[in-house]
Amino acid sequence: MLQEPKFLSAEQFLLTTMIVQLAGIAALSIMLVRFRRFRTLLLTERRDWPERFAFIAALGVPLAAGVASRLLLGYAAADVSLGGAFLAGLVAGPYAGAIVGGMVGLTALAGGEFIALPFAVGCGFAGGGLREICPKDAIWHFSPFVLTGFARYLWNLVRRFEVDWQMFLIASPIGLELLRQALGQRYGIERLFFFPAHSAGMLVVTLLETTLTVAIPIKIWNSARIEHKLQEQEQLLLAARIEALASQINPHFLFNTLTSISSLIRTRPDTARMLIGRLAGLLRRRLRANDHFVSLREELSAVDEYLDIECVRFGPTLRVDKDLDPATLDQIVPSMILQPLVENSIKHGLADKVGERVVTIRSERRGSLTVLEVIDNGLGIDEARPGRPVSSGIGLTNVAERLRVIYGAQCTLAITSAPDRGTRVRLEIPDLLVPDRRSA
């Protein structure tokens, strides 16, 4: 036998409409917060008028469209004019709230709802006025669940005269909903749209639903604000770590260079003057660099300044060979990434070597990788030899840490060495998707 269709009662239909309305305001909040510019608006507490207009348009247009869909299609769940206008004022100030309220009120006025316009504008001003007097952090902690601790808040108010702004934030939309219920009952739903509550239970549900239309967007947007701030802090931390690693100076190199300069001041003053200039240029790059990323051409210039100093120290026994692919010279690499490797080769591989000392610098392109090699014909790495660790001091440890911080697992650093035959350090650096020459 066929069963007769079952229809919802008036209260069940009203409750379903409220649930759909909450789902709609949550969906709208999530869609808006996915736009980077909207997230940026949420982060700034003081906004100029172009930013306010952007916020007004982002929130007011969908809310006005919801009122229009209710008037044209009879879809009551799309109308969140009270909560929307109050929310706009609470987040962006009284004038923004009033304008959003005017947008939804004028749309309702076109359908003959004469009380809707002043009421919606008043809701916007109410939210904005509350924003002006309460702490801004309290707004982003807005939640209807503070009602569970109402007795505790009341006790603190009586005992310590402590004002809990959450209670004011909750009381405002509740008061506005009660006012809307009174006006609607007095002038009729054809003059002001509202959800009529014919029982005490439905009135409580209606008040809770109105509060949630404000609390849900606040919670969603606050989560996005926190996530955005965490990302910014991670970027700042990353930049700080890169800057700290890039600014490290090997004290042994500095002391040795100053000793060489002091020994040349009387016998070869022109050479001493040249060394001072090269050292000043190198220190300027280390300590006052404006970029964390430079072209390989610029990086090689820094290496040349260092090698000019070392060639004076070691004399004709130190030779530098370069085998550079022209296609690599304009590739972006971390600044001061090669000089520590060359310094490490000279300090640990060539300083104690007898005879000719050779450092070779190579570069080539392999697909999307820039391959850099620093090769020496020095003593090599002998684990049994004291004072010859694979990573010593700042050199290789510094470079490996910087590459790990910047590129993660996409970058490769490989070391091959043989005792008394030399060492090869090979870097495979991926291309940056966006060459971000980040200021220090």
Query: Could you tell me the strand order of the sheet in which 369-376 lies?
Result: 318-324, 357-366, 369-376, 422-430, 412-418
Give the predicted TM-score (pTM) of the model.
0.60
Answer yes or no: is pLDDT of 2 > 60.
no
User: Cα–Cα distance between 165 and 163 in angstroms, integer?
Assistant: 6
More confident: 104 or 240: 104
Question: pLDDT digits over 325-373, tens only?
Answer: 999 998 988 877 888 888 888 878 887 787 888 999 999 999 889 999 9
249-430 adopts what CATH topology? Heat Shock Protein 90 (3.30.565)
Question: pLDDT digits over 124-135, tens only?
Answer: 999 999 999 888
Q: Which pLDDT does position 7 carry in this prediction?
A: 65
Q: Which pLDDT does position 236 carry in this prediction?
A: 64
Answer yes or no: is pLDDT of 66 > 70.
yes
On whether the CB atoms of residues 343 and 301 are closer than 8 A, the answer is no
Q: Which pLDDT does position 153 carry in this prediction?
A: 63
| Position 1 confidence tier, pLDDT thresholds 50, 70, 90 | very low
Q: Which pLDDT does position 149 carry in this prediction?
A: 56
User: Cα–Cα distance between 61 and 65 in angstroms, integer?
Assistant: 6
More confident: 401 or 341: 341
More confident: 415 or 40: 415
Tokens 């210039």 map to which residue? 301
On whether the CB atoms of residues 333 and 365 are closer than 8 A, the answer is no
User: What is the pLDDT of the chain when averaged over all its residues?
Assistant: 82
More confident: 253 or 186: 186
Q: Start-end ranges of CATH 3.30.565.10 in the chain?
A: 249-430
User: Cα–Cα distance between 317 and 66 in angstroms, integer?
Assistant: 82
Q: Which pLDDT does position 388 carry in this prediction?
A: 44
112 is written with which tokens? Answer: 């003959």
User: Cα–Cα distance between 333 and 176 in angstroms, integer?
Assistant: 60
- Among 379, 371, 383, 387, residue whose Cα is nearest residue 338: 371
Question: pLDDT digits over 341-351, tens only?
Answer: 888 888 788 87
User: Cα–Cα distance between 423 and 35 in angstroms, integer?
Assistant: 51
Q: Rounded mean pLDDT of 291-319? A: 82
Q: Rounded mean pLDDT of 366-389? A: 75
Answer yes or no: is pLDDT of 118 > 90.
yes
| Position 309 confidence tier, pLDDT thresholds 50, 70, 90 | confident
183 is written with which tokens? Answer: 């006006």
